[in-house]
Amino acid sequence: MGKSKGDYSFSTCWNVKRHTVGREMVEEIRSLGFRQVELNYNVTTELLATIEPMIERGEIGVSSVHNTFPHVGDPDYGTDSVLLGFDDEEKRKRAVELLVKSAEYADRYGAKAVVVHPGEVPFDYNIDHELKAIYEEQGRDSEAYRNLWKEMLVRRESLSGRYLQRIRRSLEEACERIASRGWDVAIGIETRSRCYQIPTLREAKAVIDGMIGAPVGLWYDFGHGMMMERMGLYDNAQDIDLIKDHVVGVHIHETIGLSDHWCPYVQSGDNTYFDRFLPIIAAAPVKVYELKAACRPEEIEESHDLLTSKLAAFGV
């Protein structure tokens, strides 16, 4: 049994693929010392059948749910889609419906927030995948990378305003419905893992600034932020101050190169880069580890010990 992790939560993305019984999935997370979980977008209604009694009995708390929740098989409403920014009005309204449904579950479980991937600037193919392959093989300074990056950026910058406008409209509609039902649930728009996806930290601030009074903030995913910084989309250290007061929750994980969802400090062997995120972690209302299945319990324990001792040493 791992030591108690206090008010830190742990995402089911770590072990959801290993379980067919929800209770067993949550028990495995409890054995690490966590008393709260984030129920991610791969959690099905079948898994919930044995998780809900645990929530009702107070055996586990739910910090957050990850839209689209419970699991929706249609990729149009999956984690890598235009989602709240669809041109097609029927699809956009369906995306809003699904977000409201996620919020309903969050309210029912006593969760504080819904994590949402708000959208993207669509491309005819996965240009991010190609850029990452060039990055790994030739490096960010190669001519091939610079040329394709410029091509991506031109399209992204020319169209992002249009999609941000639609995302904001969708968030406003969702928030109106959430407020009318009296649910005390925040929506966190998450920093993303592909360079054509929305939002950057500055885009998130623009959306949030335009929705004063609405329960919308940034869900700061540090690993994704690191990836986008390495690829050249934005600089976390430079932009953190713009957004730090608008964070509703965080996904705690680190990247090795462009591979994400590793335990901070432990697998990368880098003892300093992640320190820039410590003040954000300290202040975040919801703190969730979002780790991949390859992270072992002893590594999770070591990483948490390191992180909490650094927080104490820095006095944040």
pLDDT digits (tens, 9 = 90+) for 70-93: 999 999 999 999 999 999 999 999
**Domain CATH for 243:** 3.20.20.150
Identify the pLDDT of residue 192. Answer: 97
Residue 141: Cβ within 10 Å count: 8
Q: Is there a cis peptide before residue 199, judged by omega within 30 degrees of 0? A: yes
- With 80 as the cut, is the pLDDT of residue 9 above it? yes
Residues 6+ apart with CB under 8 A from 40: 11, 12, 13, 16, 65, 66, 69, 290
Identify the pLDDT of residue 314. Answer: 82
In this structure, is residue 3 part of a structural domain?
no
Q: Which domain holds residue 84?
A: 8-121+167-314
In this structure, is residue 131 part of a structural domain?
no
- Convert the pLDDT of each residue in 12-51 to its tens digit: 999 999 999 999 999 999 999 999 999 999 999 999 999 9
Q: How far apart are CA 298 and CA 293, in angstroms?
A: 13
Identify the pLDDT of residue 305. Answer: 97
- Convert the pLDDT of each residue in 229-268 to its tens digit: 999 999 999 999 999 999 999 999 999 999 999 999 999 9
In this structure, is residue 153 part of a structural domain?
no
In this structure, is residue 154 part of a structural domain?
no
- With 90 as the cut, is the pLDDT of residue 316 above it? no
Residue 157's pLDDT band (cuts 50, 70, 90): very high
In this structure, is residue 271 part of a structural domain?
yes
Q: How many residues does the chain have?
A: 316
- Convert the pLDDT of each residue in 165-178 to its tens digit: 999 999 999 999 99
In this structure, is residue 141 part of a structural domain?
no
- Convert the pLDDT of each residue in 87-139 to its tens digit: 999 999 999 999 999 999 999 999 999 999 999 999 999 999 999 999 999 99
Residue 315's pLDDT band (cuts 50, 70, 90): confident
The number of domains in the chain is 1
Identify the pLDDT of residue 2. Answer: 82
In this structure, is residue 136 part of a structural domain?
no
- With 80 as the cut, is the pLDDT of residue 223 above it? yes
Give the Å distances, CA to CA, from 169 to 23, 96, 172, 258, 280.
Answer: 38, 10, 5, 32, 28
Identify the pLDDT of residue 258. Answer: 96
Q: Average pLDDT over the chain, rounded to whole? A: 97
CA 191 to chain CA mean position, Å: 6
Q: pLDDT over 90 for what percent of the chain?
A: 98
Identify the pLDDT of residue 13. Answer: 97
Residue 276's pLDDT band (cuts 50, 70, 90): very high
In this structure, is residue 137 part of a structural domain?
no
